Amino acid sequence: MQGIYLPLMTPFSSQGALQVEKIQPMVEHHIRQGVDGFYIGGSSSECFMMSVEERQLVFSAVASANKGRVPLIAHVGAIALHDVKRLIDSAVTYGYDAISATPPFYYGFTKAEVEYYYRTIAQYSQLPLLLYNIPGTTGVNFSHQELIELSQLDNVVGIKHTTNDMFFVERLRNSLPESIIFHGEDTMLVNGLQMGASGGIGSTYNLMSAHYVAIYQSMVGGDIQRAFEVQKQVNRMTEVLLDVGVYQGIKYAMGILGIDYGACREPFLPLDATQEQKIKQALETLNFKGFIE
């Protein structure tokens, strides 16, 4: 389980209705671009603005579209373990290869409670578990030692690590050489791979999956200069996305490129005319249509 795993976004109508019928062409597009797998139902999917039932529908739709061609990781993180278990059951039913989970957040859970959460998931699940460290959004901060100890739990096979802490990537690789480490900072994929990451998972992969595949393949092939060149290109686009709104910007840009990603759920706001023009100009400047197969 390594390489470029795409955290697929969820298509909604402008009224906020789930549009699972749009998932098939989204999956097909990214398989054509060469992604190694999909990470389904995570932050990029707006999962915390979806019901458990909707998340289960998305698990089903992606599995049906994928038809076993590439591995699938189901993000099952939720505040309540009751909901996590329901999502794990669905991931097993639909033939996913692994699960992943953010830590429980909002209520200021103790480290003992967070450890209990992960230990319970690992014991309950028939599928291997990837931890998910993203303190910037969950507000849950771990020390290196705490993450290494959690990584040693039975049935935990790795981590999705979304911080700019490259030191931890190197320390985990040194401590647990067989651990799967997915780097989650899109703008620093080259650095994560240099420090020992197994691959990457990031929101902007939805717009630039071919670019990130090129970065990974260049690094594996030893062409670091080429990897840095492509990293700089995606970073220029990411800068624009951060300016206009990452999720809305990606969905709008993918529509221009011919893949209907739908809209974001409120309270995300649609792009205004000025923001739309910034996306169009960026796509033309960076020659995206020439890069995508």
- Catalytically active residues are 132, 160
Q: How many Å apart are CA 21 and CA 65, to the nearest integer? A: 10
Q: How many Å apart are CA 250 and CA 246, to the nearest integer? A: 6
Distance (Å) of CA 293 to CA 31, 209, 211, 240: 11, 11, 11, 23
